[in-house]
Structure 1
Amino acid sequence: MKVTRAALPLLPLCQRLLPGRLAGLSLALLKATALEIAILAGHLLLYPSGITPERRPVPLPSRTPAGLPGADTAGLPDPTRLPTPAKPPVVLLHGFIDNRSVFVLLRRSLIQHGRHQIESLNYSPLTCDIRTAAELLGRHIEEICERTGHQQVDVVGHSLGGLIARYYAQCLGGDVRIRTLVTLGTPHSGTLVAPLMNAHPIVRQMRPDSAVLEDLRQPAPHCRTRFVSFWSDLDQLMDPLESACIEHPDLLTQNVRVSGIGHLALPVHPAVALGIRQALDAEETGVRPAEQTGGLTVA
């Protein structure tokens, strides 16, 4: 899957100065970095709009006749429940020091392709423990299931958000509620980047030797959630890059390599959005996102 590339003014100079494969890698990195800077600038503009919690959808009146399940004791429809469409709700969970505004484009893409129950959850930037955040996520998902009438949800988590959702699904019994978990640039095996940020407790929990990641390495023979991990070969926040892959013998996993973009572009790029839609729809259509060997190429 290729996306038309845009010319950068420094490309001719780099092509003259850098030989062969080194030039190709450097040019790809240059383009990815330029895209990351552009995305960061746009995200900073949108960031204030995502600070406040998302408005919850207004329940629509049910047509359930009096005396049937779903009607209250006075014969009136239950105002707290929404009509149940075929596809489960999608829960979007942002990364570290971020908020729901990172998913503006992905949300639009999902809505345009038939996903009408989408909820973006914010967790506090002061969150200091992945396990506590996972418990909070579980309460949110229980409320969503109760309100929508669905037994399960799909979750898309960017970076730290994917790790929180995985902990809930794998360690807190959340596999009953999460049907498919899609992670984007999530440090499943821990990342060594930015050692100066170790002062923050949640950053220390994303290190390879943390107790949280040790919990995730434990056997999980009965976990029912399906995991799809998108990882980028130019992700500046993953060290090593393959730490964003899920490697666990008991989990139903699929790792999708994305070539040509960085960490911030994963929840934004249309090629990745297509892969996410395929991953979420796989249960109904049987169409799987690109295999790790082929992956997505964003050139």
Structure 2
Amino acid sequence: MAIPAWTRYFRRIGRGVRAKLLHLQVTFHGNDISRVTNFKKSNMNPVLLIQGFGSTRRCFHILEKRLRNDGYDVFTIRIGGWFGTMNTRGVSDVAADILKKLESLRDRFKFGKVAVIGHSKGGIIGRYMVTCLGGNKHVHTLITLGSPHKGHRPASLLRFTPVGLLSKGIRQLRPKSKVIRRMRDTPIPKSVYTVSIGSENDQIVPVQQTEITLHKGMEHIVNIRIKGHRHTDYLVKQQIYNIIKEHLSVGEKARKSP
């Protein structure tokens, strides 16, 4: 028997609410995390996670656990913002701070290049770091989840609100901002395997805005469209994790190939 349309509709609503509640639960659990990454171990397989606007490092709780279970050495970096946690600072400022910390960690512990996974604004921070600040020296793979590579149109309106006036990060996500234009006009280095994952059901960042404009010779960049997932689902859904894991493996193999 076919399921009535209204039943399917309310089921989708219910799944969306549950996903949002889970995201809020882990996000507002706090910015403090358990420091379990041993940077002194040999043969590290490091993955740096960068959260999106308004999120804390705890939003990665489920994704981090899955990555660790699969043998990755996961870490995050405190990047500040409102209340010292919410990643509301400018994209360029946060990218520079993360790069400085990453350089310091690699210099101290002598581990290899890292993979970067960024959710929403976090993916834009990661791309700006490897594209515009020379972070490609430290990164072999960049995976972005629901990140507005073409800019976020609502940010153009939000910049006139108290949130936009107080957050440089909002203003820099506008499609015509200097950050977005510079990032768009600067090629992603071929040494960085780059994957952008976007969902046709993402109600925060439309899938078209997540796609990186491709030209000839950009075989190291992949755009992936998925269906049925919302903006917070990137952090919790097993189907999306399977895609992340697959492309982490591809990036690692590309790094090791001559």
Category of TM-score, reference length = shorter chain: 0.7 to 0.9
Matches of residues 150-229 of structure 1 in structure 2 within 5 Å?
Answer: 150-193=111-154, 196-198=157-159, 199=161, 200=164, 201-220=168-187, 222-229=189-196
**TM-score normalised over the length of structure 2:** 0.83
1:217-241 CA-partner distances (Å, limit 9, x unpaired): 21437552111111000111124x3
Unaligned runs of 5+ in 1: 1-10, 16-26, 60-80, 287-299
Check conservation: 2:130, 2:188, Cα contact below 8 A.
Answer: no
1:24-76 CA-partner distances (Å, limit 9, x unpaired): xxx57x65543232122123222343322x344476xxxxxxxxxxxxxxxxx
Partner of 1:92, secondary structure, is: strand
C-alpha separation in 1, matches of 2:101 and 2:11: 38
Following superposition, the deviation at residue 124 of structure 1 comes to 1.8
1:161-204 CA-partner distances (Å, limit 9, x unpaired): 00001000000000111110000000000122366522323222
Aligned to 1:84: 42
Partner of 1:266, secondary structure, is: helix
Cα pair distance change 1:212/1:92, threshold 3 Å: same
Aligned to 2:4: 12
Aligned to 2:213: 247
Larger Rg belongs to: 1
Q: Which amino acid aligns with 1:258?
A: I
Deviates more, 1:172-181 or 1:118-127: 118-127
Aligned to 1:271: 239
How well do the aligned residues superpose, as a CA RMSD in angstroms?
Answer: 2.4
C-alpha separation in 2, matches of 1:181 and 1:222: 11
Q: Which amino acid aligns with 2:135?
A: G
Match of 1:38 among 14, 18, 31: 18
Aligned to 2:85: none
C-alpha separation in 2, matches of 1:43 and 1:205: 24
Cα pair distance change 1:221/1:49, threshold 3 Å: closer
Count of paired positions:
239
Cα pair distance change 1:37/1:176, threshold 3 Å: same
Matches of residues 27-176 of structure 1 in structure 2 within 5 Å?
Answer: 27=8, 31-52=11-32, 54-57=33-36, 82-85=40-43, 87-115=44-72, 117-126=73-82, 127-176=88-137
Higher helix share: 2
Cα pair distance change 1:268/1:58, threshold 3 Å: closer
Following superposition, the deviation at residue 92 of structure 1 comes to 0.7
Partner of 2:235, secondary structure, is: coil
Unaligned runs of 5+ in 2: 83-87
C-alpha separation in 2, matches of 1:230 and 1:32: 21
Check conservation: 1:94, 1:121, Cα contact below 8 A.
Answer: no
C-alpha separation in 2, matches of 1:174 and 1:49: 30
